[in-house]
Amino acid sequence: MPGPGTLSAPPAGAQAVHRALGLLHCFHDNGPDLSASELARRTGLSVSTAHRLARTLVATGFLDQDEHTARYRLGPAVAELGQLTFHQRGLHLAGPELDLLARRTGATADLAIRSGPHAVILVGGSVLPSTGLGLRRPLHSTALGKVLLAWPSPTETPLRGPLPAYTPHTLTDPAALDAELARTRDRGYALNDGESAPGIRTLAVPVLDRTPTARFALAVRSTPAHLTPEALPRTLTHAHTCAAALAVLLLPPDQR
């Protein structure tokens, strides 16, 4: 029996769930179908364990297996749950507001949530019509991510690990990032000026709940030539107007 202060191993069932979710996360990049050996390599599991978990996920509809190649892809249960959460969060109502913001600012407008160390765009101009998928970007190098970090929920863990550089302007020092997040909270918006990709300027604001927590982050993205310092106040006004509308539209179902 473990002594005081000793961490016991997680229950076998919890470990299996964690591993199965890890297999599903292997498909985040929307790449080609994956074999059991590729799933094992990506998750650090043995091939036999990856195969056994994948077969369980096939049986429950979370993965499909090609009968000719034996390779795996996401299954219908994932698509069904994705559609359900999309509508339960009210995200189908956000599109018209983002379109209006894009027309008013002449820039790309996006709405994102936090997923671990990433900001995931769910609705907006960066969502590809061919796949319905938006960009998945690191938190520390994007305006969307800075907003989600500046107004976190009590259950979200702080950003850990090294902060990779994507351009010479990326904030890689945790202390510098903390200072930037403090500035973001003070002024009510985040700015990304070439930190994620050269020649891109993005302004982002929070869509707050009553806590206040940024349930979503709203961004307007263009070039420095378009989002000039003179244009930023007007753009910020439009972004705050859109965020206020979304704060109501995206309320949980029991609060609408």
Q: Is the peptide bond before 158 cis (omega within 30 degrees of 0)?
A: no
Q: What is the rounded CA–CA span in Å between residue 35 and residue 66?
A: 10
Other Cβ atoms within 10 Å of 56 Cβ, number:
14
What are 254's two structure tokens? 């029991």
Sign of the dihedral defined by the CA atoms of residues 102, 104, 105, 111, in that order:
negative
pTM of the predicted structure, to 2 decimals:
0.76
Burial of 174 (0-12, 13-18, 19+ CB in 10 A): middle
pLDDT band at 4 (very low <50, low <70, confident <90, very high): very low
Average pLDDT for 20-24: 89
Q: What is the rounded CA–CA span in Å between residue 50 and residue 124?
A: 35
pLDDT at position 212, please? 85
Domains of the chain: 14-78 (1.10.10.10), 85-250 (3.30.450.40)
Q: What is the rounded CA–CA span in Å between residue 178 and residue 195?
A: 15
Could you give the percent of the chain with pLDDT greater than 90?
60
The mean predicted confidence, pLDDT, of the chain is 87
> What tens digit of pLDDT does each residue of 46-61 get?
999 999 999 999 999 9
